[in-house]
Structure 1
Amino acid sequence: MSNDFDESFLNKQDSTGLSWWFSNDEPNSKSKAQVKREARSARRIRRIGLTDRLLSHPGRLSILYFLVLIVIVTLLLLLPFSTHDWVFTNFPAAFFTAVSALSTCGIPVVNTAQYWSMFGQVVILFSIQFGGLGVMTFASMVALGASRRLKVSQRMLTASELGTTKLSEIKSVLSVVFATFAIAESLTFALLLPELFRVNRGQIGRTLWQALFYAVSAYNNTGFTPDATGLHINRWGVGLPILLSAFVGTLGFPVVLNVVQCARKRLHPKRWTLHTKLTLTTTGLLVLASLVWFLLVEWGNTALFPADDPSMKLRRALSAAVMPRSAGFDISWVPEVSNETKAFMSMLMFIGAGSSSTAGGIRVTTFAVIVLICAASFTGHRDVTAFHRRLPRRIQMTAVSVTTACFFLVFVGAVSLMFVTGCNFVDAMFEACSAFSLGGYSVGVANAGNPACLFILAAEMIVGRLGPLTIAYSISRPMAPEPIRYPQENIIVG
């Protein structure tokens, strides 16, 4: 009985509150000060480091990051001096523009050069930069966070995919991300200067501003442009650097780093990682298929090919083949293409670009895994392989789950657009895929005069920016042990 009422200081944590006094009857009991010191020491030992705290919930941190930025940018764009005419922008348009810039989508509802003032354009430019950096940063953190749950051998593979040997340090990965951004955007800026200087007839200030805006917007795969005419597609000195920068941005920094490291060490492409091989192969096939499609199906479309010069048609077809999956520059011709081409472009946009890139979609590696799963099933193979490597079951489950969830979300968004705008299914699906995949293209469904439409598309952008990342991270958690395994029984499918 006496033990039940023991309220000595050492038993304070287990006290049930049956007595209001503390006994000091133990001759060898520790003093209060000593116990407090030991408690503080234990708390210091248990204290989680900053890296571990950041990696504990990277999905939640990325969501919080984007929500805070959306609020800040929306408030800035609502201010009168953000517009040329010093007027208050209505909330739906400001909110939509903020989400479009931060998600690196780039669908405009107003003309960027004519409506927004220099202050407003600077806000949009910083939004694009912080949006792109945030995506790649949190993608790296998700990969690191997931690797913390893996075995040592699997951690080393993940480190190799990220292009770093210091898997336990966020700082090293972030430095790689920032360096990749700085180098890519600086090169694009330098390449654009000569031709833009000629376009602007020697206006150095305008030239520097356009080169900077295009460089940031291109690598981050955002369709916003700093001039009223959009991309100078007929000037190859402007179009080619933007095209190359946007293409590199779609690959993702792990691929770029792996290729650069292998080239520096003079290693054969066979030494590339499986992620790099799958990304480059699938991207190349998608661009080739898209190029052939536009040349065959839209050859007589004067909106896309206004000139009869075959070389000019090839240039515009190449731009149309690369841009729809990511950037969205030069959108003037998009509403004029056939419904078949709109459906084809919707598929390309839904697939999107590479993992850990600034573009969206389900990612090309996800699409590649789905194709490989189907190939293995049709040919009767048990293992799913690529380039003489076997894909883990967890990767297969992630690919199927991401694809299914994202297709459902895009379909719901398309049907919702049909309800609020009255557009046909092809246009609604095109617009939903463009918003989800951050493609930046529009066939005219996005209208500043329809707030419901803008909110639906903004939701698709947010889901497209954060959804696949969050889904993949949630699936990467270790499987909970099954307390009961039920008997297996087959069903008929197909």
Structure 2
Amino acid sequence: MEKVASHPGRLSLAYFIVLILLATFLLAMPVSSRSGEFTDFNTAFFTAVSALSTCGIAIVNTAAYWTYFGQAVILIAIQLGGLGVMTFASLITMTISRRIRVSQKLLTADELGASKLSEVQSVIAVVLVCTFSVETVAFLMLLPGLLHINSGSLGNSLWEALFFAVASYNNAGFTPDSAGLYVNSWSVGLPILLSAFVGTLGFPVILNIFRCTKRLEGPRRWNLHTKLTMVTTLSMVTMSLVWFLLVEWNNQTLFWNSDISSKLWHSLVAAVMPRSAGFDISWMPHVSEQTKLFMSMVTFVGGGSASTAGGIRVTTLAVLVLVCRAAILRRKDDAVFGKRLHTQTVIMSIAITATCGAMVYIASLILLTITQRSLTDILFEVCSAFGLGGYTLGVADPANPGTLYVLAILMFVGRLGPMTVAYAISKPQPPQAVRYPAESIIVG
């Protein structure tokens, strides 16, 4: 136990595994299913991983299959996963020792985006306050619309408002109702969409914007991380919106007899939700092959760093674009907004992208081997699982357990991050004593 506690990466890994086993056990119990029978291990395990990773891919209908107890287990798992493994690991360490080890602070600072070790404890408090504040606002915004839809049923409306508020901010696409996202109701759908968008920005961005706003400072005073996150996020949302409007506007299968309002709503959902949220999956099977491929790229990128989203993160994409721009223009430095990127940041971005790309490639090969699905469907499902997008085309099949475990591994790594998993299973290396001379090679 001392070894695990002294290694924050392994503590994070152990914490996550314990929660998965606990949630799987609870979901497998008869009290969790409406049939009153034991749920098979594969279904319970996959649902637990999907909830704790805040992915939201469901292989059974959440409202029809799970009881309120089962739904409560899923909701708590979503909340614990959304708050972040390292956040809770730090809180556990603080409770035991009343202080955080330096190694723990370093990893937690990286997870939450804190620039100084002294900020970590305050950032953890801000994470908790921010999370519950946004969820409370979303709950209050959702309640009137749900009361109207549920014909004044206060009990159902309160439960659905709570579930949607937690699931939307934490970007987990589980829904407590058979109708899903109530696609025809802007009063319910819009608060969910806005909450999901805020959740993809990340705690460091929300904290920085809040502090600047409190000091009456505009976007010019935002730090570089916040600027890159906002610019890249808004660019991806705009690009997705334009793509969907242009490519799918005349899709008769998807928009048969639909008015302009319905088309605009579907476009907004397609622009925001696939990056991590995964709500309202009813329209996904009807989109074109081009859109599936496009959305695979969107889910692979995911949301902001230290957010409830997954993927390689938007700042990683921004760094890669800046590196490519510098190389094409033959610039020595990767400068943006009057700041220069650190070499270590560039190296980490390339390593993350290469590692995640290799994972997606290998998982796609395995699923192509064990299923009869098309490459487009496989690639979309793999990227959705890794990027915690929550959208599914049915590749996750309970009749084929191999698909469940491949996607579960992707969700697990996608939530923790490949670098955290690698750090957890690797042995600490001593500092490099010798730095070898450099020599140029030809690339490209």
With structure 1 as the length reference, what TM-score do the two structures score? 0.82
Summarize the alignment of residues 176-325 of structure 1 with structure 2, pairs less than 5 Å apart. Answer: 176-325=126-275
Partner in structure 1 of residue 341 of structure 2: 391
Q: Assess, with a 3 A threshold, how the Cα gap between structure 1 residues 76 and 264 changes in structure 2: closer, same or farther.
A: same
CA 1:319 to 1:135, structure 2 compared with 1: closer, same or farther past 3 Å?
A: farther
The answer (yes or no) to whether the contact 1:109–1:448 under 8 Å persists in 2 is yes
Alignment of 1:162 onto 2:119: no
Q: 2:314 aligns with which of 345, 354, 364?
A: 364
Return the offset for 1:473. Answer: 6.5
> Does the 8 Å contact 1:223/1:329 carry over to 2?
yes
The alignment status of 1:112 with 2:62, answered yes or no, reads: yes
Distance 2:320 2:430 in 1: 22
Corresponding position of 1:422: 372
User: Quick one: distance in 1 between partners of 2:119 and 2:225?
Assistant: 22
Amino acid at match of 2:403: C
Among residues 449, 455, 463, which one is paired with 2:399 in the alignment?
A: 449
* Cα distance in 2 for residues equivalent to 1:208 and 1:276: 34
1:237 maps to a residue whose letter is S
* Alignment correspondent of 2:48: 98
> Percent identity among equivalent residues?
53
Over the aligned positions, Cα root-mean-square deviation in angstroms equals 2.6
* Matched residue, 1:46: none
The total of aligned residue pairs comes to: 431
User: Partners in 2 of 1:81 and 1:181 — Cα distance?
Assistant: 29
Distance across 1 between alignment mates of 2:429 and 2:127: 27
SS in 2 for 1:162: coil
Where relative contact order (Cα < 8 A, 6+ residues apart) is larger, the structure is 2
Note the C-alpha offset of 1:58.
2.5
Measure, in 2, the Cα distance between the counterparts of 1:451 and 1:186: 38
- Tell me: CA distance 1:104–1:484, structure 2 relative to 1, closer, same or farther (3 Å): closer
Q: CA 1:139–1:358 in structure 2 vs 1: closer, same or farther (change >3 Å)?
A: farther
Is the Cα–Cα contact under 8 Å of residues 296 and 383 in structure 2 kept in the other structure?
A: yes
Shift of residue 307, structure 1, vs aligned partner: 4.7
Which residue in 2 is equivalent to 1:42?
Answer: none
Out of 78, 98, 102, the position equivalent to 1:128 is: 78
Cα deviation, residue 162, structure 1:
3.1
Per the alignment, do residues 337 and 442 of structure 1 end up closer, same or farther by CA in structure 2, a change over 3 Å counting?
A: same
- Please tell me whether the aligned partners of residues 402 and 471 of structure 1 are also in contact (alpha carbons under 8 angstroms): no
Gaps of 5+ in 2: 92-99
* Cα displacement (A) at 1:490: 3.1
1:303 and 1:102 map into 2 onto residues whose CA distance is 34
The structure 1 segments of at least 4 consecutive aligned residues displaced by more than 6 Å after TM superposition are 138-142, 471-475
| 1:116-167 deviation line (CA, Å, top 9, x unaligned) | 111111111111011111346269899x858759xxxxx9xx899538x7x3
Q: Which secondary structure state, in structure 2, belongs to the residue aligned with residue 177 of structure 1?
A: helix
Residue 485 of structure 1, aligned match among 432, 436, 439: 436
1:341 matched to 2:278? The reply is no
Give yes or no for contact 1:135–1:357 (8 Å, CA) kept in 2: no
Write the deviation string for residues 76-114 of structure 1: whole angstroms up to 9, x where unpaired. Answer: 111111100111111111100000000000000000000
TM superposition score normalised by structure 2: 0.91
Q: State the AA in 2 paired with 1:402.
A: I
User: Any unmatched runs of 5+ in structure 1?
Assistant: 1-49, 150-154
Q: C-alpha separation between the residues in 2 aligned to 1:397 and 1:467?
A: 16
Query: Is the 1:305–1:313 Cα contact (8 Å) retained in structure 2?
Result: yes
Q: Which has the larger radius of gyration?
A: 1
Report the counterpart of residue 24 of structure 2 in structure 1.
Answer: 74
Q: Which amino acid aligns with 1:124?
A: I
Aligned partner of 2:352 in structure 1 is 402
Q: Is the CA contact (8 Å cut-off) linking 1:140 and 1:173 kept in structure 2?
A: no
Query: What is aligned with 1:39?
Result: none
